[in-house]
Amino acid sequence: MARLKDKVAIITGGARGMGAATARLFVAEGAKVVIGDLLDAEGDALAAELGEAARFVHHDVTSEVSWQRLIDATLSAFGAIDVLVNNAGILMFKTIAETTRDDFARVLDVNLIGCFLGTKLVGANMVARGKGSIVNISSVDGMKAANGLSAYNASKWAVRGFTKAAAMEFGHKGVRVNSVHPGGIDTAMGNPYAEPKAEVNKRYAMVPLQRVGEPIEVAYTSLFLASDESSYLCGAEIAVDGGMLCGQYYVGFPGAPGL
């Protein structure tokens, strides 16, 4: 397969989870990939696994200096940047009453400011070339709310809105910007205690597909947006959530699963 033949992609938070699945898929589809992450051991191991088509760069998405180093390393290794996947993110479970200002700012720093800096700095390189695709990984929690996730909700709603503003500013310059909104995904963030899949799925009984998602299922959506197949998508938002945003089944109603 070669859906990304001759394309160069940067993937932040790429050392594990959805980012790693995306890196593997992109390389399988013909891309050269630069993995940015703070997890050096995992990032080095993944780059070694993927071979000459991949590089790992230690990267802090909240730092403008780190972004410039990542861009320079990508251009040095592969000569261009065609795709950016702003995947890096953190999750914090705290009530509003428990959340400190520093807590809130930290989540916004990584999830939102990191996305802003990547879009701004990598986007400038793409605009100069007149082409590119930026994929911002938001969340279903950027389309709804959840108690205990106020900072995360705020950051992911903001990524959703920022994506649309960026699409308006960059689209006519040849750079498409779209967002992906994963639901529950079986990663270290979504399943921090590495529970068996059958146990995790019990928590998704009210979701139409009645199961947790897999990292590769999000990666395939990013692949579509990164490829020329999505050439008329700009400012779009795609939920990869097993139908979570449709609503919830009500037990006893017609068509509801037997619970």
- Catalytic site residues? 152
Residue pair 195/184 in contact by the 8 Å Cβ criterion? no
- CA–CA gap between residue 169 and residue 160 (Å, rounded): 15
Residues pairing with 57 in the sheet: 36
- CA–CA gap between residue 212 and residue 222 (Å, rounded): 18
Q: In what order do the strands lie in the sheet with 32-37?
A: 54-58, 32-37, 8-12, 83-86, 132-137, 175-182, 237-240
Burial 108-118 (b: 16+ CB within 10 A, else e): bbbbbbbbbbb
**C-alpha to C-alpha distances, 59 to 40, 99, 171, 195, nearest whole angstrom:** 9, 26, 27, 29
- CA–CA gap between residue 70 and residue 53 (Å, rounded): 16
Q: Which of 227, 203, 208 is nearest to 22 (CA)?
A: 227
